[in-house]
């Protein structure tokens, strides 16, 4: 790295050195041993080749900052990459780009000798950040940006106004079960929904899955004491910094009440009228606040499977919390927590829906797969028959998600695949 005395003087001023962090002082990326690669790594690499500005969005405590530092560590030319955190005021994007290119690399911005990567953390703290990113993106082909922010809705909103057609988003979700295993130094073999082969270390995986159900998918909380209290603190931060401020919520107590009710009833069809009565609020406020929570990635909506789009919109959705730790925190039933785990896992494959009359919990229409979640080892024959009949009617491949049973049952010329929840959460497709 080209470091002149002048560049050192400028970048070691107070406003820059806090943002550069350890990378500037040591020239290398240092991360704790327990940090793991995320499953979206290949997706990130593919999007980066598109040349668009990339926005990494997701809930607090899902590891966005860590992902940026892992990205920095994996770059072929570390010396031409700049990680900077904007959690402190005083530095603009223009200042950062000019100082790094001209004073650190020693190259005029208009004559860069190769690609330069800027990984900008907490960029939502800057007003009009997207306008400045757009300027460099449009005028300098060798400059690439990846941005993150805790206020994810603000990231999307700001990018939509200035970076239309130039911005690609990638969502970082809470840990999957596979990532949880990797955190505990276990790398399970690749598997799919078509596989009936039990892994050799199935007992160990089953025990770890019990830990996953208890710990949830927020990796930054795993090593903290009093995790339930810290999880409550995270929720408060999301409410009051990422939702209330951004959307100008007038009644924060209604917002938190809605989330509590939906977390307790995760995976259930929503009756908005009942929520209005419970919180002494009006229908418009409740539905608007639910949209805010969804836009902030605290909730996900599942609509009924119908061939007609208008028909789907007229029906009440099922709503799931983004991580099963929220459901556990608010005392949801174990069966609903299990369904939430299944839903959030399958959301990584395709946007799920659900079926009615009779109800099937989760369906993936594009892949023509359906899943009924019964997290128990005592599976009733009438449940298997109901799933089989529905699968024949809809011509979907049926799965019955159990606690420990892995089997295939043939009913009325239809095969129903019984699959443990922990096994489902290892399947990539």
Domain spans of the chain, in order of start:
5-172, 178-424
Rounded-to-integer distance, Cα 40 and Cα 386, Å: 36
With bands split at pLDDT 50, 70 and 90, how would you rate the model's confidence at 259?
very high
Assess whether pLDDT exceeds 80 at residue 190.
no
Please tell me the predicted confidence (pLDDT) of residue 151.
Answer: 61
pLDDT at 276 over 60: yes
Nearest to 180 by CA among 349, 345, 404, 70: 345
- Report pLDDT for 305: 93
What is the mean pLDDT of the segment spanning 169-191? 90
* Better pLDDT: 295 or 397: 397
pLDDT of residue 347: 96
Ordered alpha helix ranges (H), 347-417: 381-394
Give the chain's mean pLDDT.
Answer: 85
Q: Please, which residues bridge with residue 117 across strands?
A: 81, 144
Confidence band, pLDDT 50/70/90 cuts, at residue 243: confident
- Mention every residue, 6+ apart, whose C-beta is less than 8 A from residue 77: 114, 115
Of residues 115 and 104, more confidence is placed in 115
In which order are the strands placed within the sheet that holds 407-411? 353-355, 360-364, 369-373, 397-402, 414-420, 407-411
What's the pLDDT score for residue 29?
Answer: 72
pLDDT at 21 over 70: no
Query: How many whole angstroms separate alpha carbon 245 and alpha carbon 231?
Result: 20
Name the more confident of 325 and 249.
Answer: 325
Structure-token pair, residue 35: 């940090």
5-172 has CATH 3.40.50.300 classification: yes
Work out the average pLDDT over 138-160: 81
Distance of CA 210 to the CA centre of its chain: 21
> Quick check: 375 and 341 in contact, CB under 8 A?
no
Phi and psi at residue 373, to the nearest 5° = -100, 115
Picking from 117-126, 153-162, 190-199, which range would have the lowest pLDDT averaged per residue?
Answer: 153-162
pLDDT of residue 284: 93
Percent of the chain residues past pLDDT 90, beyond the cut: 45
Task: Specify the pLDDT at position 23.
Answer: 54
Return the H-helix or E-strand segment holding 148.
strand 143-148
Q: What is the pLDDT of residue 89?
A: 62
pLDDT of residue 280: 95
Mean pLDDT, to the nearest integer, of 32-39? 80
pLDDT for res 310: 54
pLDDT band at 413 (very low <50, low <70, confident <90, very high): confident
Q: Sort 402 into a burial class: Cβ within 10 Å, 0-12 / 13-18 / 19+.
A: buried
What would the two tokens of residue 261 be?
A: 């009710």
Q: What is the mean pLDDT of residues 158-167?
A: 78
Give the Cα separation of 410 and 413 in Å (integer): 6
pLDDT of amino acid 357: 87
Provide the pLDDT for residue 429. 61
The pTM score is 0.88
Is pLDDT at 345 greater than 90 in this prediction?
A: yes
* pLDDT surpasses 60 at 24: no
Question: What pLDDT shows up at residue 342?
Answer: 98
> Taken in order 385, 386, 390, 396, is the CA torsion positive or negative?
negative
In this predicted structure, the answer to whether residue 201 has a pLDDT above a threshold of 70 is yes
Q: Is the pLDDT of residue 325 over 90?
A: yes
Residue 6 pLDDT > 60, yes or no? Answer: no
């Amino acid at each position: 790295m080209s470091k002149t005395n002048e560049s050192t003087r400028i970048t070691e001023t107070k406003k820059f050195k806090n943002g550069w962090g350890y990378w500037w002082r040591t020239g290398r990326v240092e991360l704790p041993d327990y940090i793991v690669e995320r499953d979206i790594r290949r997706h990130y690499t593919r999007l980066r080749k598109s040349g668009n500005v990339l926005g990494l969005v997701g809930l607090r405590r899902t590891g966005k900052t860590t992902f940026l530092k892992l990205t920095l560590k994996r770059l072929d030319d570390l010396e031409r990459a700049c990680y900077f955190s904007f959690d402190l005021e005083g530095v603009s994007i223009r200042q950062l780009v000019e100082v790094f290119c001209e004073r650190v690399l020693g190259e005029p911005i208009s004559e860069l000798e190769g690609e330069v990567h800027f990984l900008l953390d907490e960029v939502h703290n800057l007003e009009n950040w997207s306008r400045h990113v757009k300027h460099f993106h449009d005028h300098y082909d060798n400059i690439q940006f990846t941005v993150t922010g805790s206020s994810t809705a603000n990231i999307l909103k700001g990018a939509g106004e200035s970076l239309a057609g130039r911005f690609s988003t990638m969502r970082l979700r809470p840990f999957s079960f596979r990532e949880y295993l990797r955190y505990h130094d276990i790398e399970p073999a690749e598997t799919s929904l078509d596989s009936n082969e039990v892994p050799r270390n199935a007992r160990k995986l089953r025990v770890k899955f019990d830990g996953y159900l208890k710990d949830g998918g927020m990796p930054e909380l795993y090593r903290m004491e009093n995790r339930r209290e810290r999880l409550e603190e995270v929720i408060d931060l999301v409410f009051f910094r990422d939702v209330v401020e951004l959307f100008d919520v007038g009644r924060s107590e209604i917002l938190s009440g809605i989330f509590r009710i939906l977390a307790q009833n995760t995976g259930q069809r929503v009756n908005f009228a009942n929520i209005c009565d419970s919180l002494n609020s009006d229908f418009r406020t409740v539905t608007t606040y639910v949209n805010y929570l969804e836009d902030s990635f605290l909730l996900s909506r599942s609509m009924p499977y119908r061939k007609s789009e208008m028909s789907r919109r007229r029906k009440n959705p099922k709503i799931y919390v983004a991580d099963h730790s929220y459901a556990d925190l608010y005392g949801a039933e174990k069966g609903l927590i299990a369904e939430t785990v299944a839903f959030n896992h399958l959301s990584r494959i395709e946007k799920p829906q659900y079926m009615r009359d009779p109800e099937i919990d989760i369906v993936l229409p594009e892949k023509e797969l359906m899943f009924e979640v019964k997290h128990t080892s005592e599976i009733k024959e009438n449940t298997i028959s109901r799933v089989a009949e529905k699968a024949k009617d809809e011509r979907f491949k049926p799965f019955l998600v159990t606690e420990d049973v892995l089997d295939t049952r043939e009913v009325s010329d239809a095969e129903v695949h019984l699959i443990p929840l922990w096994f489902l959460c290892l399947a990539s497709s």
